[in-house]
Amino acid sequence: MDNKTTVYTLMEPKGSKSYRHIYFTCFLVIYSLILFLNIWLSVVIILERALHEPMYIFLCNLCVNYLYGATGFYPKFLHDLILDSYVIPSFMCILQAFVIYSSAMCECTTLAVMAYDRHVAICQPLDYHSKMNKNTCGMLLLFCWTVPFISMFIGVMLLNRLAVCKYHIDKLYCDSWSMVKLSCESVVINNTMALVILLFYICLTALIIVSYIKLIVACKSSLENRRKFWQTCVPHIFSLINCSFTVFFDAMSSRYGSSDAPENMYVVFGLLMIIVPPLFNPLIYVLKLKEVRKRSVKSCINIIK
């Protein structure tokens, strides 16, 4: 497989000849909102000393990850819409798949770390500062990025060894499984690796759910714990739901999608993962976390003045 010469074609948005300027405007607005919300929230957390706590540091990491993932899709797609040309060299395709899916994995690991942080804060408040110290936070942040990067690196290495027989990816962006399906060789090893990674993240999601169940049980006996849960854990739960459903739909449509299903359905499923979490999750945190909301409003007032 000569990755320097291979060129893939991507799905052309329906009606792109007539509506590509409308598509461009809509996606440019979405991308601008994603950049604004995540950069704003990250800057507020970095500049406000009162927010230099583990929960907000992990939230800042989540926002940085959303910015990282968004750059994997929006600039390329906006470029394609302008030129009305939906082609991509194989090395760029691999890079795009790496960025988008390592970002999705990093979101899951970060949400797991945030769930652990809330579990310690509510269930073991006296040990919180000793357990969630600078070294622990650093190790957890390293975990958030290392596992996705190693997983995707192994996936890319396995993908790179395959010979390609077809060159059309039936999606608006590149993803690993769509590229694997273009091969004319055995993909048993790739499939096994993908299932191992999927199983790991299913187990991670199960641990997060168990953690929140324990939190709910712990909150029954204390009004203070209920208040903490409502203020700080509810945004995490919404983020987890967003992440789980969007990744699930994307995985199912990529692997088990039927050619008889409407094309628009797969387009929507594919876009959910790169629109919903990076756009709505930061907004949920701003609206729900009192300290973040207060500091954000304060920053807005200072800028206006």
For 171-214, what is each residue's pLDDT tens digit? 889 988 888 888 888 888 988 998 898 899 889 988 888 888 88
Percent above pLDDT 70 for the chain: 90
- Kindly tell me the burial class for residue 255, based on how many C-beta atoms sit within 10 Å of its own C-beta (0-12, 13-18, 19 or more): middle
How does residue 2 score in pLDDT terms, banded at 50, 70 and 90? very low
- Topology of the domain comprising 7-304: Rhopdopsin 7-helix transmembrane proteins (1.20.1070)
pLDDT of residue 3: 46
Q: What is the spatial distance between Cα 223 and Cα 32, in angstroms, rounded to a whole number? A: 40
For 84-132, what is each residue's pLDDT tens digit? 889 999 899 999 999 999 999 999 999 999 999 988 888 888 888 889 9
Domain residue limits, the chain: 7-304
Mean pLDDT, rounded, of the chain: 85
Q: What is the spatial distance between Cα 147 and Cα 114, in angstroms, rounded to a whole number? A: 16
pLDDT of residue 1: 44
Confirm if 226 and 219 have CB atoms less than 8 A apart: yes
| H or E element in which residue 181 lies | none
Partners of 8 in the β-ladder? 88
